Structure 1
């Protein structure tokens, strides 16, 4: 099993995050990807760089003006604000109004929270993170059974025209759209501990992409506003969204029970290809976790995903700098490779 990664993804380097009324060190650090990359090398996974597929596959799921905004946003901020941190502080209200021409207004227009501060390398990092997802999906279309896209920054909170939760471009949604070029019905299974709210936003009215998100109940946990069990899609997408919620403190057994509900739902949908939004932040020792996942559970998930028998793009989402991050990634990916070898 091959991995896709580009070193330019490390260039986004946010220092701090305004969370629950206080600044904390930003959890989404380049070191996350470095640790996983080094684990891949140690375990003999071939790592290849993505080709440059351009912005059109990104714009296929994102508002084109939104994509274009990020290309020079940092330079515009520096021209206006000099040494101030590029953190959005103005946001549209419930009546959205219209987009401002100011960099201050536009940053808040396109960023729904304070989790995605601009840095000098943000554009390169998010662009190559998306290219990694595009490359992974393109190789699946070309016949690869499973490819791992080490995408960083992550993407599943990014909406069609809004950054959210450390995410600017929705890599999993981009990958799913690429897979649709060769497959009539595609499923996304989001196993990050947080709702795949951006992916839900993008595909909520589409019936060709089934989204299943397994996550902690958002009533008192980020992302708060989306990811409830009664959200099942609208219009052509009615029935093509499934939110499987977990109670805070859920055990590994409870997580796996709900996980298997998602596997069955994807099979019932008749998916021909699969995107996994792969989060390791369900781990019991992850800084953002409220549930009890361990490496054993991640191994079980990996093997059961492979046994679904679908062409699959694994797209990295969360998993932060807790003690077991590297081990969980190692367990999941080596178990996937081992299970693949049994079916080849």
Structure 2
């Protein structure tokens, strides 16, 4: 197996995010990547820097106006400085337009206002996505890692791992959210579609992959399946329900399997078996696995209770699908655990 990661992905160092009405210390820190790199090194897996693809791979999944915003937001924010005006060190919204999560709300046009303040409210859906001086570049290079992994899988028919940080599965076509700015899993799927006609994205992060669902919800060439904690009391709250099955051409090509809070290995693996059966019925020619370790029992923001052994079983079950697979790293915030979790997953993936 090959792995892909750019050192530029370490440059994004958020200073804060808002949680439960309090400014909190960030959880998506560069130390996450260091832990995962250590696990790869211990298994003798070479890590390769991805090519610089620029914005081109993102144009199939994100709107041009959103990409323009992300690329320029920090510089424009700092330009607000004037007598009596002191913008904070990171770009964060102080207003937001109404957005319900309904599919009919997904086709917004560009923000009608040129104001950086207005656009920040329009393009950042919550207070977990501060934009600092290196956020754009780190997020861009994270998606490049996913695209490079997809290129490798398309060329070899095997598997590859993209160490994506910042994560991506909460990034919608035109908005950031949940620590995610650009959707790496969707970018990998878009690249696989250049080689194959049917692709699937299986998301096993603790949180619903709302951005990925949103991007492909009306398409039949990508099936999206997400296992996650019940969103009635957990982020992203507005999507991730079992009745969401796709729309238009994509009807029947989306599957959500919400799990009760506190669910451990057995219920999670049963849900995974159901997901894999649905995927087998769809018949994808290639797979993107959005792999999150925030399902771990001691993760600081998880409500699921998996132990390390579960990730070995997840790897083996995913491999049993028998299709070329891009593994894209998503969440997981207990730094001491995510390295062992990745090691266990890779053991299972290799043994199947």
Smaller-chain TM-score range? over 0.9
How many pairs does the alignment contain? 339
Structure 2 equivalent of residue 87 of structure 1: 92
The whole-number CA distance in structure 2 between the counterparts of 1:333 and 1:277 is 14
Give, in angstroms, the shift of residue 180 of structure 1: 0.4
Give 1:177-326 correspondences, 5 Å limit.
Answer: 177-326=190-339
Listed one character per residue, the Cα deviations across residues 182-231 of structure 1 (whole Å, up to 9, x for unaligned) are: 11110000000000000011011001100000001101111100000000
Structure 2 equivalent of residue 42 of structure 1: 42
Structure 2 equivalent of residue 342 of structure 1: none
The whole-number CA distance in structure 1 between the counterparts of 2:139 and 2:307 is 29
Q: Normalising by structure 2, what TM-score?
A: 0.93
Give 1:63-212 correspondences, 5 Å limit.
Answer: 63-81=63-81, 84-85=88-89, 86-94=91-99, 98-212=111-225
Structure 2: gaps (5+ residues): 100-104
Give, in angstroms, the shift of residue 322 of structure 1: 4.9
Q: Retained in 2: the 8 A contact 1:172–1:199? A: yes
Give, in angstroms, the shift of residue 146 of structure 1: 0.3
Name the SS for the 2:80 alignment partner: helix
Aligned in 2, Cα 1:179/1:46: closer, same or farther, shift over 3 Å? Answer: same
Task: Please tell me the root mean square deviation across aligned C-alpha atoms, in Å.
Answer: 1.4
The whole-number CA distance in structure 2 between the counterparts of 1:7 and 1:322 is 18
The whole-number CA distance in structure 1 between the counterparts of 2:122 and 2:171 is 13
Q: Retained in 1: the 8 A contact 2:170–2:177? A: yes
Structure 1: gaps (5+ residues): 340-344
The whole-number CA distance in structure 2 between the counterparts of 1:317 and 1:162 is 17
Listed one character per residue, the Cα deviations across residues 254-293 of structure 1 (whole Å, up to 9, x for unaligned) are: 1100011001111100110000000011000111111111
The whole-number CA distance in structure 1 between the counterparts of 2:170 and 2:25 is 20
Q: Retained in 2: the 8 A contact 1:231–1:243? A: yes
The whole-number CA distance in structure 2 between the counterparts of 1:329 and 1:238 is 34
Q: Which aligned runs of 4 or more in structure 1 are off by greater than 6 angstroms?
A: none
Q: Does 1:59 align with 2:59?
A: yes
Give, in angstroms, the shift of residue 71 of structure 1: 1.2
The whole-number CA distance in structure 1 between the counterparts of 2:271 and 2:351 is 24
The whole-number CA distance in structure 2 between the counterparts of 1:248 and 1:216 is 6
